[in-house]
Structure 1
Amino acid sequence: MRKRIISMLLAMALMSSAFVGCGSSTTGSSTAGGTSSKAAAAKTLSVSLGAEPATMDPALNQAADVTTVMNHLFEGLTRYSSDHKIVNAEAKDIQVSSDHKTYTITLRDDVKWSDGKPVTAGDYEYAWKRVVDPKTASQYAYIFDPVLNATEITAGKKDKDTLGVKAKDDKTLVVTLKAPCSYFNELLSFTAYFPLRKDIVEGNDKWTQSPKTYISNGSFMMKDWSHKESITVVKNPNYYDKDKIKLDSIKFVLLEDDSPRLAAYQNGEISFCYTIPIEEIANWKDKPDFHNLPDLSTNFVDFNCTKKPFDDVRVRKALSLAIDRNYIADQVTKKSQTPAGAFVPIGINDQDSTKKFRDVGGDYIPVKPEDYDKNVAEAKKLLAEAGYPDGKGFPTIEYATNPASMNNALAEAIQNMWKTALGVNCTISAQEWSVFIDTRNKGSFQTSRDGFGVDFNDAVSMLDLFVTGGGNNNCKYSNPEYDKIIAQVKATDDNKVRMPLMHKAEEILMRDMPIAPTTYRTRICLLNPNVKGYYESPMGFDYFMYADIEG
């Protein structure tokens, strides 16, 4: 998600213009880089996670780094605690019926919007119906599938007012599910489930663009959005837990590339740096600032199944088998990631916490170093069967990506593997993040870099990406058998039934190969040791709201 830097000199010049005043404040303030002599110093934390957001609308966002920003501005009925447990947030109480299909949720008495108005159950009802409304065109509408009638509404078969959510009164929200859902409390913490104010949002498609109209209910509220530079949030005086918030403000510095981000960290202008240039990993891995965090996610290549020659499964399998995953893990990620032999990432539970989904499912793609020559031989055979022996007659294809040192290296490695192993020529299209997201959403690509992490700790969060017409189904894959299995998975909360079905779904996915998994991801970041109280969720979202600056 970062921009290629032509030279370090240019990177530093760009950084200098982007960071005038970043990490600093008026006399008497405290930053992560130092402390003031005044006892009541204001505390500002500057961090950098990613580039300019494509959107700041909770219903439309698809980026993990923007989710982190939103988690500071908004709050749902539940949230993740520092010990990775789902706890009540705006919900004071959640009662579940004996059939596990009706949730009666009571809001806290002291929840307010950043302008002081009370948060009501009606704000949740409005926001949820807005997400599933086809007019909103939310890529995440499918995350409401457990709620009664949500699937039919997003398909245009029912009115949004039939959604199984009802504000019984200002403090009581009643949710009806179409089937028991074991992870529903986790869904209540996700951005698409955040409340919104109808009087702010309705009829104003620019409500996210100004702090005056960006009314939120979280621990912080927006003060300034300097586009392509920074988003500054300040402590929300109306937040119910404000006494535990020690920071006065957080500046989310917006940078496309990890080179200037690292330079900013080294200069003390930011205290948290997400991703660093791959060539720098060895220099930092033994320092106290360096963190290689687990991440329930997978990197993969999208094949646009609606375009020739990628409508031929033999072509997709050939291109997948020609990828040397060990080379990518060792040389591109510098051993910070693991070769992926399947799609669902490592770390996700199976029937219970004693077994992991990946351990039960095993690999579908041989990923041992000694397997690669066999993989290439099979790839050549498949490509010949598809009518392209040794790549003859195969058209030059394009690989879309967004620039960053690791993304660039990945693109060049795959380009070389396809050429060397199969005789297939590939060009690289490096696009700015917002353009790249639009390209993938519209299917305006042949092959593309992609990656996805779970939105809740269950394998279906990965596998339901590929149902026909799914909002995040970038490869435009469609298989009725697959769709049927995922529907069966969502019809029960019995893991003894669900897990075998999901293994079957993954088997079909790997058989049809609409995507080529490359590595299981981890999250590399640098954190100033003076910053205390930071934590991340199992999904890889960063939480700075309870952080403090010491030293």
Structure 2
Amino acid sequence: MSKHLTKMVALLAILSMTFLAACGGGSDAGGTEEAKQVLNAGYAPSEPPDLNPNTATDSTSGFVLRHTMEGLTRMSEDGQPIPGVADKWEPNEDGTKITFHLRDDAKWSNGDPVKAEDFEYAWKRVLDPETAADYAYQLFYLKNGEKYNAGKADKDEVGVKAVDDKTLEVELEKPTPYFMSLTSFYTLFPVNKSVAEENKDWAADAKTFVGNGPFKLKEWKHDEKLTLVKNENYWNKGKVKLDQINLPIITDAKTGYQQYKSGELDVGDSTILPTELVASALEKGEAKSDKIPASYFYMFNTKEKPFNNAKIRKAFALAIDRKSIVENVSQGGQGPATGFVPWQMPDHAEEKPWVETREDYLQPTAQADEAKKLLEEGMKEEGIDKLPEIAISYNTDEGHKKIAEAIQQMWKKNLDVDVKLNNMEWKVYLDKTKSGDYQIGRLGWLPDYIDPMTFMDMWVTGGGNNDTKWSNKKYDKLIKEAKSTDDQKVRMEKMHEAEELLMEEMPIMPIYFYTQNYMQQDYVKGVKRLPDTSTDFSEAYLTGK
């Protein structure tokens, strides 16, 4: 998934009955005229950087997009693609050609019909090299998609075509077992072609935003809050019980926690759960925790000394005590990361969790002696007697800060290296890491679909999300081979080999595997927490306290 990083204001009560509903005094599932179904949700730890699905890359933006837009499919609670805008589809015998049939009643929030050309337009815009979309590679599965992105094919040669208003024909380069799941990811959402062509900044303001999902964007007070309301034009509006979702931007988890405790918030993720309170909140049953297929890690800028050297990178990775971090810092049931592909991600050939079908590349505790040895060897190779100033960059968040402080101490103790800490606002942080203006940066990676490839293909040479700028021809070859077959045994073998290489070269250093920690008032019902780690409120509702 996208970045959130990776992780995850007071509210204004406009009407008294809205305030009562928001505090849990709402009606039953169907709602009443006396009390509207208004949910106050703590899921925005920062201003969403980008609400255009063509270019969005982070989980905060993704949360809003998943509720205001919809792709050809949606993800079910068991991780399978189910009908979304498309009510049926027909693959050919080898799965390289899929014909999607769009619902007759699929509409945009402005009343326009959702057309097949809206998908064709959006997908080709993602691939357009001028768009410079980080997630363009998620559409390289299309026939000539990668070539068009590289300027080696014409737009009309890309394998997506609107046959008519309600028929979309998709042609793939190779059979891709997870492509149907990928169609529920926001990069593959449609964009209203006529709206976008009239106003290129349509997604930057609530007044011009047009979506096709269960909710629509009513208000966006930048750096303060977003308000979503039920979309009366949504094809499945009968299943949508909430009238409104209030999303205050909560930059301080302590503030969010107090708002939840006072009843101002009905539900929230780590946005409203301070790190130091996670353990006690879980113990008291105040919060809940689920293992999810996501990885928290640090990345190196491999183009800048000293982290152009693999031995130095590995030395810093081995000097981290991951067990201590999850037990004493994050304290939310996370697991020490022994590789990059996380727990809960399946190995489709062995039909077991991925982590059970490989050796541990990293140990839970620090390997200080080996780390010192590698650091000395790396510095000798680079011809340096002293390291330059080292800095960890992270986006403003108390949890990220505490992890950075813990690692800072570990590197001082185990490597005798002094480290500076740099924190910055989320959008600024994304811009800095994208431009290579950092040494070491934090990131969280959530799955875009349920397959190990969603973790592995981001590190290919020139990849849109490869902010390490690391490049390895053998790695690229392994990923290409894994993508060139639908034989699950071959695919998994190639990706295991690629992960082993990744952990040997160490352009990234995994820290822990995530849990999804959240708080939810008892009167909030019908919330879906999906295998891709996203939270779905499309069928949620409030009951009385």
TM-score (normalizing by structure 2)? 0.94
Equivalent residue letter for 1:260: T
Q: 2:337 corresponds to which residue?
A: 340
Q: 1:258 corresponds to which residue?
A: 253
Name which of 94, 102, 115 aligns with 2:97: 102
Q: Report the alpha carbon displacement of residue 34 of structure 1 after superposing the two structures with TM.
A: 3.3
- Structure 1 residues 464-543: aligned runs within 5 Å: 464-543=457-536
Q: Report the alpha carbon displacement of residue 204 of structure 1 after superposing the two structures with TM.
A: 2.6
Aligned counterparts of 1:462 and 1:63: Cα–Cα separation in 2: 15
Secondary structure (helix, strand or coil) at the match of 1:362 reads coil
Q: 2:371 corresponds to which residue?
A: 379
* Structure 2 residue runs without a partner (length 5+): none
Aligned counterparts of 1:522 and 1:187: Cα–Cα separation in 2: 23
Q: Does 1:134 align with 2:123?
A: no
- Structure 1 residues 381-420: aligned runs within 5 Å: 381-387=373-379, 393-420=386-413
Name which of 386, 394, 417 aligns with 1:424: 417
Secondary structure (helix, strand or coil) at the match of 1:448 reads strand
Q: 2:430 corresponds to which residue?
A: 437
- Structure 1 residues 70-469: aligned runs within 5 Å: 70-202=65-197, 204-275=199-270, 276-352=273-349, 354-367=351-364, 369=365, 372=366, 375-387=367-379, 393-469=386-462
Secondary structure (helix, strand or coil) at the match of 1:444 reads coil
Relative distance call for 1:121 and 1:353 in structure 2 (3 A) is farther
Identity of aligned residues (%): 38
Equivalent residue letter for 1:187: L
- Structure 1 segments of 4 or more deviating over 6 A? none
Equivalent residue letter for 1:25: I
Q: 1:35 corresponds to which residue?
A: 25
The answer (yes or no) to whether the contact 2:68–2:217 under 8 Å persists in 1 is: yes
Name which of 8, 11, 14 aligns with 1:25: 14
Equivalent residue letter for 1:183: Y
Name which of 527, 540, 543 aligns with 1:547: 540
1:82-121 CA deviation, whole Å, 9 max, x = no partner?
4443211111111000121000010111101111111010
Aligned counterparts of 1:334 and 1:351: Cα–Cα separation in 2: 31
1:156-177 CA deviation, whole Å, 9 max, x = no partner?
2223332100000011000000
The answer (yes or no) to whether the contact 1:120–1:171 under 8 Å persists in 2 is: yes
Relative distance call for 1:541 and 1:215 in structure 2 (3 A) is same
1:471-516 CA deviation, whole Å, 9 max, x = no partner?
1101111001111111111111110110000001001101111011
1:380-424 CA deviation, whole Å, 9 max, x = no partner?
1111112369x9511111110012221111100111111111111
Q: Report the alpha carbon displacement of residue 287 of structure 1 after superposing the two structures with TM.
A: 4.1
Q: Report the alpha carbon displacement of residue 264 of structure 1 after superposing the two structures with TM.
A: 1.5
Equivalent residue letter for 1:519: Y
Aligned counterparts of 2:26 and 2:482: Cα–Cα separation in 1: 56
Q: Report the alpha carbon displacement of residue 282 of structure 1 after superposing the two structures with TM.
A: 2.8
The answer (yes or no) to whether the contact 2:393–2:438 under 8 Å persists in 1 is: yes
Secondary structure (helix, strand or coil) at the match of 1:501 reads helix
Aligned counterparts of 2:78 and 2:248: Cα–Cα separation in 1: 27
1:428-455 CA deviation, whole Å, 9 max, x = no partner?
0001111111111111101111121211
Q: Report the alpha carbon displacement of residue 236 of structure 1 after superposing the two structures with TM.
A: 0.7
Aligned counterparts of 1:120 and 1:39: Cα–Cα separation in 2: 35
Equivalent residue letter for 2:354: F
Relative distance call for 1:104 and 1:527 in structure 2 (3 A) is same
1:322-375 CA deviation, whole Å, 9 max, x = no partner?
1111111111111521101111001111134731211111211122x4xx3xx2
Relative distance call for 1:91 and 1:20 in structure 2 (3 A) is closer
Q: Mean alpha-carbon deviation: is it higher for 103-112 or for 75-84?
A: 75-84
Relative distance call for 1:27 and 1:257 in structure 2 (3 A) is closer
Q: Report the alpha carbon displacement of residue 288 of structure 1 after superposing the two structures with TM.
A: 4.4
Q: Report the alpha carbon displacement of residue 299 of structure 1 after superposing the two structures with TM.
A: 0.9
Equivalent residue letter for 1:491: S
Name which of 34, 37, 42 aligns with 1:48: 42
The answer (yes or no) to whether the contact 1:73–1:222 under 8 Å persists in 2 is: yes
Aligned counterparts of 1:199 and 1:330: Cα–Cα separation in 2: 52
The answer (yes or no) to whether the contact 1:228–1:255 under 8 Å persists in 2 is: no
Relative distance call for 1:36 and 1:550 in structure 2 (3 A) is closer
Q: Report the alpha carbon displacement of residue 188 of structure 1 after superposing the two structures with TM.
A: 0.6
How many equivalent pairs are there?
528
Equivalent residue letter for 1:240: W
Equivalent residue letter for 2:150: A
Q: Mean alpha-carbon deviation: is it higher for 47-56 or for 205-214?
A: 205-214
Relative distance call for 1:20 and 1:546 in structure 2 (3 A) is closer
Equivalent residue letter for 2:489: K
The answer (yes or no) to whether the contact 1:129–1:161 under 8 Å persists in 2 is: no
Secondary structure (helix, strand or coil) at the match of 1:211 reads coil
1:5-46 CA deviation, whole Å, 9 max, x = no partner?
xxxxxxxxxxxxx2141xx33144352313269941221101
The answer (yes or no) to whether the contact 1:65–1:541 under 8 Å persists in 2 is: no
Secondary structure (helix, strand or coil) at the match of 2:413 reads helix
The answer (yes or no) to whether the contact 1:32–1:531 under 8 Å persists in 2 is: no
The answer (yes or no) to whether the contact 1:419–1:425 under 8 Å persists in 2 is: yes
Secondary structure (helix, strand or coil) at the match of 2:356 reads helix
Equivalent residue letter for 1:252: L
Relative distance call for 1:185 and 1:540 in structure 2 (3 A) is same
Aligned counterparts of 2:186 and 2:177: Cα–Cα separation in 1: 19
The answer (yes or no) to whether the contact 1:103–1:174 under 8 Å persists in 2 is: yes
Equivalent residue letter for 2:429: F
Aligned counterparts of 1:282 and 1:461: Cα–Cα separation in 2: 30
Relative distance call for 1:351 and 1:401 in structure 2 (3 A) is same
Relative distance call for 1:20 and 1:190 in structure 2 (3 A) is closer
Secondary structure (helix, strand or coil) at the match of 1:42 reads coil
The answer (yes or no) to whether the contact 1:208–1:214 under 8 Å persists in 2 is: yes
Relative distance call for 1:87 and 1:20 in structure 2 (3 A) is closer
* Structure 1 residue runs without a partner (length 5+): 3-17
Aligned counterparts of 1:87 and 1:39: Cα–Cα separation in 2: 30
Equivalent residue letter for 1:32: A
1:181-220 CA deviation, whole Å, 9 max, x = no partner?
0011101101011111122112533211222321111111
